[in-house]
Structure 1
Amino acid sequence: MSGRTRSADDSPSEPRTPSTDPAQPGRAHPPTLELVLVKYADRPDRCTIHPPDTTGIERMSTWISVDRSLVVDAASMR
């Protein structure tokens, strides 16, 4: 990746810089997420991760599910 973005008309634009807005999540303030574990008897357990304060349509559009075996503690990866 070159660090450049493309506009709607696909012409090159200036490199993007990370947001410095304190209200936006970033490395200093990672987003808060909730993990829900669903255990199965006949297949791998699944984890669903989503923002904690969402409901309905918003939650359905901001979640991800993975096999439990793929989830690791973030601190162990640093």
Structure 2
Amino acid sequence: MSGRTRSEDDAVSEPRAPSIDPGQPGRSDPPTLELALVKYADRPDRCTIHPPDATGVERMSTWISVDRDLVVDAESMR
């Protein structure tokens, strides 16, 4: 017979909730973001969302841009 058998000494692994680093925002402490709007005459307006305190390279690597009509209020989606 091949495979592994289980003995009484084997620990049963219970599912664990992911740990949250105290320095990282959690569900009760959502991150603060800033939205910059760029309006265009010939195409959809664009929103760029980024952390307000980020500067330089950090700001350039922690942003996302989307068409304005795709942005909704987070509270309306809950």
TM-score range relative to shorter protein: 0.7 to 0.9
Gaps of 5+ in 2: 1-14
Cα drift, residue 16 of structure 1: 6.4
Cα drift, residue 53 of structure 1: 0.5
User: Is 1:31 aligned to residue 1 of structure 2?
Assistant: no
Larger Rg: 2
Cα drift, residue 56 of structure 1: 1.1
Give per-residue Cα distances to partners, 1:18-70, cap 9 Å, x unaligned. Answer: 4052x310110000000000000000000000000011111000000000000
Tell me the C-alpha RMSD between the 2 structures.
Answer: 1.7
Counterpart Cα distance in 1 of 2:55 and 2:24: 20
Gaps of 5+ in 1: 1-13
Q: What's the TM-score, normalizing by structure 1?
A: 0.75
Instruction: List, as ranges, runs of 4+ consecutive aligned residues in structure 1 with deviation greater than 4 Å.
Output: none
User: Is 1:75 aligned to residue 75 of structure 2?
Assistant: yes
Partner of 1:47: 47
Give the count of matched residue pairs: 64
